[in-house]
């Protein structure tokens, strides 16, 4: 039987959802308001724009006859499965999201979810230490190159509940590292 007529198993979908952005069992899916809105916008784009375009392409390609060697049809069906998988993922994540607005938190020098933390990464050789700034965000919105780290990452876990002036240790691929918190802000 052609693969075009088989249904993907839900076990495969569940396994893929778990592999995309793992959320340890029992932990809440905290998100900033910005992260929640970004996921919501992506879902709306997929449902209202992307999926209808692909369905139209697949429909047109199917009407051309033989589907076994029809590249538009084969690619379109594959892309449609990818879009549907992403839509299911986004819906599930948004359903369990707990939105936290960091700007509503009272002023404190202690690190909590949503804090923007400036710290000095200490090295054994002090000439190599560097200052970095990251916001602690949810699993689905983390992107270190944009200055956002997950609250369940090694650095995120080490920073949580620490205060300005404290030095904290965390495991890294190169061994245990230490950093000193210089500033905490809730924007």
Which residue, among 141, 136, 137, 127, has the nearest Cα to 168 in the 3D structure? 136
Contact 140, 15 (CB under 8 A): no
Token readout for 25 is 């069992």
**Fold (topology level) of 3-100:** Helix Hairpins (1.10.287)
CATH label, 102-185, candidates 3.40.50.2300, 3.90.70.10, 3.30.1490.20, 3.10.50.30: 3.10.50.30
According to the model, what pLDDT value does residue 21 have?
Answer: 58
| CA–CA distance, 85 with 167 (Å, rounded to integer) | 42
Looking at the predicted structure, is the pLDDT value of residue 52 above 90?
yes
Residue 4 confidence (pLDDT) above 50: no
Domain boundary assignment for the chain: 3-100, 102-185
Q: What integer is the mean pLDDT of 94-113? A: 88
pLDDT band at 20 (very low <50, low <70, confident <90, very high): low
Is there a shared CATH topology between the 3-100 domain and the 102-185 domain? no
Contact predicate 89/17, CB 8 Å: yes
Confidence of residue 53 (pLDDT cuts 50, 70, 90): very high
**What rounded mean pLDDT belongs to the chain?**
85
Average of pLDDT values for 130-138?
93
| Parallel, antiparallel or unpaired: strands 175-185 and 116-122 | antiparallel
More confident residue, 119 or 61: 119
CA 93 to chain centre: 10
Sign of the dihedral defined by the CA atoms of residues 107, 110, 113, 118, in that order? positive
The pLDDT tens digits for 56-86 are 989 988 888 777 778 888 899 999 999 999 9
Range 105-118 average pLDDT: 90
Which residues have a Cβ under 8 Å from the Cβ of 45 and sit 6 or more positions away? none
Q: Provide, rounded to the nearest whole percent, the portion of the chain with pLDDT above 70.
A: 84
């Amino acid at each position: 039987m052609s693969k075009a007529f088989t249904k993907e198993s839900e076990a495969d979908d569940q396994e893929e959802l778990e592999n995309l952005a793992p959320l340890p069992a029992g932990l809440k899916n905290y998100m900033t308001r910005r992260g929640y809105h970004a996921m919501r916008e992506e879902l709306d784009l997929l449902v209202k724009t992307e999926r209808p375009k692909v369905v139209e392409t697949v429909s047109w390609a199917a009407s051309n006859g033989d589907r076994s060697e029809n590249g538009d049809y084969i690619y379109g069906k594959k892309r449609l499965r990818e879009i549907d998988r992403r839509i299911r993922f986004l819906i599930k994540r948004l359903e369990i999201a707990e939105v936290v607005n960091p700007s509503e938190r009272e002023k404190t020098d202690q690190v909590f979810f949503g804090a923007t933390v400036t710290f000095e990464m200490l090295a054994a050789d002090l000439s190599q230490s560097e200052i970095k700034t990251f916001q602690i965000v949810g699993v689905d919105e983390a992107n270190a190159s944009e200055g956002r780290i997950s609250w369940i990452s090694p650095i995120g876990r080490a920073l949580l509940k620490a205060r300005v002036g404290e030095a904290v240790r965390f495991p890294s691929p190169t061994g245990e590292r230490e950093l000193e918190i210089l500033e905490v802000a809730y924007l």
